[in-house]
Chain A
Amino acid sequence: MHLHNSARHLGIAIGALALVGASWEATAQAYFAGKTMELAVSRGSGGSQDRICRFMASHLERMLAGGPRIVVKNRKGGTGVVATNWLYSQAPKDGTALGCFLPVRNYQAFFSGTAKKRGLVADMTKLVPVAGTPVVAVSYVRADIGSGIKGPKDLKGAPAFKTGGQSITNTKDITFRAVFDLAGIAYDYKTGYQDSSDAWAAVLRGEVHHHSSGLPHFMKVVLPTGVKTGKVTPIYYDSGIVVPGLEPAVPTAEFIRMHGGKPEGPLWSLYQTSRAWRVIYLPPGVPETVVAEIEAAFAAMLGDKAFIDAHRKSYTVFPAWVAGRKALDRQLVSAYRALGPSLVKFRKDYIDKARR
C-alpha cells in the first residue's frame, strides 16, 4: 500500500514536472508565436545593406521558436541616425523590434563626442548587439598602370595613380588612404562618387584607377567583368584572415608589410576604428530571457546548413557572422572605445589633410 502510494505520488510528481516542463517549454515557444516583429534597416530598399538584412530576417523567422513573422522596414536617413534613434528611443522593448545597421559612423560620433552635431540621441553602448559581421572591402587597381599591375607587389615603384572614393569622411575612403599611407604607396586622391557602381564605371572608363568595393559587389561584378577580363587587379582586402577566391589580393596587414610598412601606430588604429560592420541590435530594456532566446536563434542559424548554403549562393562566401553580445562587444564596441581624444584629433587632422 505504502509502495503503491509512493509510486502513485512519484507518478503524480513526474506528471506535474512534465506538465511544468511542457508549459515552460510552451511558454518559451509561445513567446514569439503569432507575433509580428520589425527589423528596421538603416538604408533604403534595394541596396546591399537592405538585401543582407532581408536575408537575415528570412532565416531568423525560421530559427525563432514559434515562427514569428518579421517585417522589414527601411528607416533610412542620416546614414543610419534615423533608424538608430528610432530603435533606441521609440521601438518596443519586448524583443519584437530589431535594427540592422552599419553603425561605424554612429560609434565614431558617439565616442568622439560629435553625436549631438550628427543628430544622434542613442547611447551606442546601451544598444544590444545580437549578431554582426565585418564588412570586407576589396581594393583593386587598373591593370594598365605603369608597366602593368599583375599583383599587389607590382604597385611598388608604380607611378601615382588616381584613387576613386565616395567622400572625404567616408569610412571606406579613410581606410584605403590609411592602408596606402602605411604601405608608402603614392596615390592621387579623388572622391565624390555616389557608390561602388559609380566608381566602378569611373575605373572602367579610366577616370580613376583604383576603388575599394564591398565583397558582394566585387565578387558579382568586378571579378567577372574586370578581373577575369584582365582590366583590373585586386590588391588587398580588409580582413585579418585569408579569404579564398580573392587572390592575388592579400589581407591588409600583409599588403602593408609587403611594401615595407608596419601595421601599427595611430594610423593603424584609425584604420581599425574605421572598418565597417553590419550589426543586428535589440533596443535597451528588452528582458534578458528574450535577448538570450534571440541570441540562441542567431547562434543556431550560424550552424544551420540551409543558412550557410543560401549565404554562399547569395554572397559567394561562407558567412562570417558573429552571434552574441559578449563576442560582439569584444570585437566591435571595445575597438571603437579606442577612439579616445588623441585618436579623435588624429582622425580630424587626417580628414583635414585630404580636404587640403
Chain B
Amino acid sequence: MPVLDAALAGIGALFLWPAIGYLLLGISIGIVVGILPGLGGLSAVAMLLPFSFLLDAYSAMAFLMGVYAVTTTADTIASVLLGVPGTSGSQATILDGYPMARKGEAGRAFGAAYTVSMAGGVAGGVLVVASLPLVRELVLSVGSPEFFMLGVFGLLLVGALSGGSPLRGIVVVLFALALAMVGTSPQEGLPRYTFGEAYLLDGIKIVPVVLGLFALPELLDLFVHRTSISRAALESARDMKEGVLDALRHWWLALRSICIGVYVGMIPGLGATIVDWMAYGHAVQSEKNPERFGSGDVRGVIAPEAANNALKGGALVPTLAIGVPGNAPMALFLVALTTHGISPGPDIMGNRLDVLFALVGALVIANVVAAGLLLVATPYLARIAQIRGTIIVAVVVVAALMGAWMSTHSMGDWIVLMVFGVVGYAMKRWGWPRAPIALGLVLGPLLERYLHLSINVYGFEWLMRPVVLVIFALAVWALYAQFRRDYRRGRR
C-alpha cells in the first residue's frame, strides 16, 4: 500500500463512527486516570485491553491510544496543585510546579504544561513516522554497554538536581543507589537486604518513595500553617495565557526536551520513570540562571512535561518496527495489535501501514484534544490552589495514600510512604536535596543489570565500543560544563 494512501486510510478511519467515539471515550478515561494519583497509563490500558478485543482494529487502537496518550497531560493537575505526581512520568514536575501553585501561578504552570504536552505528543507522532526507516539500526545499536553508559550519564544529572549543593547531592544519590540494592538480585535471583520481608523482594518502589519525600512534607507544612496552597491572589485566566506564552518563549528548551523524550522512548527499557528526571536535569544543566529551578520556575515544568508526552511517540517506534516494546504499556499495545491479526515488523510496516498511521493519528489527535480540554478547564482547576489548607490536606492525604497503595496493594507501600515522609521532612528542613533519591532509585537497578551484562557478554571490550565512547565523552563534557559553571558562579 503506498504511504500516502495508507496515511489517508488510517487517519481517515479514525474520523468514522465508531472509531471516533471510542477515541473520545478513551481520551475522557485517560484524563480521569491521569488526574488520579497512582493510576497510570499502564494500569488503565491493562484493565481496558480485554474490552478492546471486542472492537474492530481501528476502534481498538483509537480507544487504547486515547487512554494512554493523555495520562501524562492530565497528571500535571495533581503534580502542580497537590505536589503529588499524577503518574510516574510527572515526578519531576512537582519540583517547580508545586512551588508555582504556592506562588499563585498554578494557571501559568498549567498553561505552559498543556502547551508543551500537546507539542510533545504531536512532535512525538511526527518523529515516529520520520524515523521509521532508520529505527531498526538505531534501536539495535544500543546494547547492554550503551545502556549502562546512558545510566552513568543520567547519574551525572545529580549535580543539576542538587539545588546548589553538589556534595550533598552525591551523598544522597549514593544512599539511593544503596537502597536500590534492596530486593532480588537481577543475576542471581536471590534476596538481598530484605530481612525476610516478602514486600522487599521486589525492591523499594519508587512511587511511595517520591510521594513520601515530596508530598508529605508539603502536607505537614499546609497543616501547620493552615493556609491555602497558594499564598497569592488568583489570576488564573491571565496566568494561563502567560503560561502558553512561556512555552513559546522557551521553545528551544521544549524542543530539546521533546527530543530527549522521543529518544528515551525509542530505547526499550528506559521508560517514563526516568524521562522526566532526564529532561529536568538537562534543563537545569543547560539553561541560564539554574538557581531559580526548584523555587517555581516555569522551565522546570516545561522540560518534564514536553518530554513525558514525546516519550509515547518514541516508544511506538521499536514496538511497531521490531516487536520490542518501548515500555510496559507498549507491550499491551502489541497484544492488542496481534489479537487483531496485525503483527509487528514487516506486516505492519509493509501490509498494514494504515494501522500504523491510525495509531500515530490517534496519538496526535488525543494530545491536541486533551490539551485543549484541559486548557479550557484551567481557570477552574487553578481555584483549587485557593481552597483552605485544612480541606486540601484531607484530599492530599487520600491522594498520597491511594497513590502509594497502587504500587503493590500492600501495607508495605504505606510504611515506605511514611518512612520517606519523615526522611523527606528532615531533608527539607535541613536543606538536603531530595530529587537525587528518586534518580538513584530509578537508575540503580539499570546500572547494576547492564554493568553485569556488559562484562559478562563482552568482557572489558565493551569499554571500547564506539557509542559507549561517545556517551562517555558527552558525560565528561557535561560534568566539566557543570563544574565550570559552578566555579564561575562561585567567583561571582
Contacts and interface: CB of A to CB of B under 8 A. Distances in A.
Interface in A194-228: 194, 197-198, 200-202, 204-205, 207-208, 216, 219-226, 228
Interface string B229-261: 000000000000000000000000000000000
Interface string A154-168: 000000001000111
A350 B313 CA distance: 44
A85 B408 CA distance: 14
Contact of B191 (A117, A190, A191, A316): A117
Contacts of A50: 46
B324 A46 contact: no
B343 A81 contact: no
Q: What is the interface residue range for chain A against chain B?
A: 35 or more
Contacts of A75: 408-410
B356 to A, nearest CB: 14
Contacts of A47: 328, 331
A106 B269 CA distance: 28
A349 B197 CA distance: 26
Contact of B328 (A46, A76, A166, A313): A46
Contacts of A117: 191, 196
B334 A201 contact: no
A228 B346 contact: yes
Contact of A204 (B140, B191, B408): B140
A169 B189 contact: yes
A54 interface: yes
A126 interface: no
Nearest to A119: B198
A81 B268 contact: no
B202 interface: yes
Contact of B344 (A202, A224, A314): A224
A197 B53 CA distance: 22
A120 B197 CA distance: 9
Given A197-B268, A197-B324, A220 B189 contact: no
B143 A205 contact: yes
B322 A225 contact: yes
B46 A46 contact: yes
A119 B331 contact: no
Interface in A221-275: 221-226, 228-229
A314 B53 contact: yes
Contact of B198 (A81, A229, A313): A81
A170 interface: yes
A207 B269 contact: no
A82 B187 contact: no
Interface in B49-94: 49-50, 53
| Centre residue among A74, A118, A197, A216 by max chain B CB count within 10 A | A197
A349 B139 CA distance: 38
Contacts of B191: 117-119
Instruction: Tell me what chain A mostly uses at the interface: helix, strand, loop, or mixed.
Output: helix
B140 A224 contact: no
Contacts of B323: 200, 220-222, 224-226
A207 B141 CA distance: 11
B45 interface: yes
Nearest to B348: A224
A55 interface: yes
Nearest to B139: A201
B134 to A, nearest CB: 15
A221 B46 CA distance: 19
Nearest to B205: A77
B478 interface: no
Given A58-B50, A168-B188, A314-B53, A201 B324 contact: yes
Contacts of A193: 453
B345 A46 contact: no
A35 interface: no
A46 B346 contact: no
Nearest to B51: A58
B334 A202 contact: no
22 contacts: A45-B42, A46-B45, A74-B409, A76-B408, A77-B201, A78-B201, A78-B202, A119-B191, A119-B194, A167-B184, A167-B189, A169-B190, A192-B449, A194-B269, A201-B324, A202-B143, A219-B338, A220-B334, A221-B338, A223-B343, A224-B345, A225-B345
Interface of A: 45-47, 50-51, 54-55, 58, 73-79, 81-82, 85, 116-120, 162, 166-170, 190-194, 197-198, 200-202, 204-205, 207-208, 216, 219-226, 228-229, 310, 313-314, 316, 355
